Amino acid sequence: DDCSATRWKEYDLLDDILRQINPGLKAKSAPCETTLLFHSRFQKFFNHFILGLDGGCQLLGRVTNHVIKYELQGRQAWHTHVLLWIHPDDLPDVEKLLTMEIPYEVDPETGEYKVPSDEVLAMLHNIIVQKNQHSCSSQCRLHGECRYGFPFPAQYSHTPVLCPKSKRYLPYCPGYRHRNTVCYVPMIALLWNAHTNVVRVTNDNLSYYLLKYTAKAEPAGSLMVEPDAMHSLTVPDCSE
């Protein structure tokens, strides 16, 4: 997470290094380095906390198969789309981890919601409020309703409930205040410290998702280079 107010410390360190070269440079000025940084951080996180390799843990149960797709957002922030196949015996426990709840405390005197006094819950509160809230735009409301299903209705079961109309699993959502929270798993949100969206999907949505990202074209472009520059770079002449 290289763009938000509470971004990863690695990007602050990269900023410090770049300022020593040129005071005007920031992490965004080093796309190769930030790409390698994100890839390294994601791979270490995924292998240790999701796949449980090298003595790690499996926060989402036993993963039998997975697919990973990298994308670059318009604001130049890398993110990944990950499909996980969870062992059927682990699924009932794993899906109860999914939640849209924003951690709050209620002031006993005023009845107002406030940041939890517990340090870990306060940290989780800040992550979810700053990084995991959906704000509808014209892009997600092309046909009137939000294509992602926001705002979500209240749903008080910790086991996701399949909505027959939207064909989406509705996660635990304890009321109106939490309606625009992007579904997450608390431990993953704390450890990753960036936007996360963890949901259970139907077979139909899974098929559409795989087809969409299999057929999606990779970014492409063109580059014009002067002949003298090509000669200096020892690039062969490809004009013929």
Q: How confident is the model over 146-186, as pLDDT tens digits?
A: 988 899 999 999 999 999 888 889 999 999 999 999 999 99
Question: What's the whole-model pTM score?
Answer: 0.81
* Confidence at residue 240, expressed as pLDDT on a 0 to 100 scale: 47
Tell me what pLDDT residue 202 has.
Answer: 85
- pLDDT score at 122: 94
Q: Are 19 and 25 in contact (CB under 8 A)?
A: yes
Q: Which of 61, 40, 41 is nearest to 51 (CA)?
A: 61
Which ranges constitute the DSSP H helices of 64-198?
A: 91-95, 119-131, 186-192
Whether the CA torsion 133, 146, 76, 171 is positive or negative: it is positive
pLDDT at 73: 67
Q: Would you say 186 and 155 are in contact if contact means Cβ atoms under 8 Å apart?
A: no
Q: Is 7 exposed, middle or buried (0-12, 13-18, 19+ CB in 10 A)?
A: middle
The answer to whether 58 and 50 have CB atoms below 8 angstroms apart is yes
Give the C-alpha separation, 55 to 51, whole Å.
10
182 is written with which tokens? 């992007």
Which residues, 6 or more positions from 121, have their beta carbon under 8 angstroms from its beta carbon? Answer: 103
Q: In angstroms, rounded to a whole number, what is the distance separating the alpha carbons of residues 58 and 226? A: 52
C-alpha separations of 197 from 66, 80, 156 in Å: 16, 10, 19
pLDDT at site 76: 61
Q: How many residues does the chain have?
A: 240
Write out residues in the chain with pLDDT < 70, as ranges. Answer: 1-7, 73-76, 213-221, 223, 230, 233, 235-240
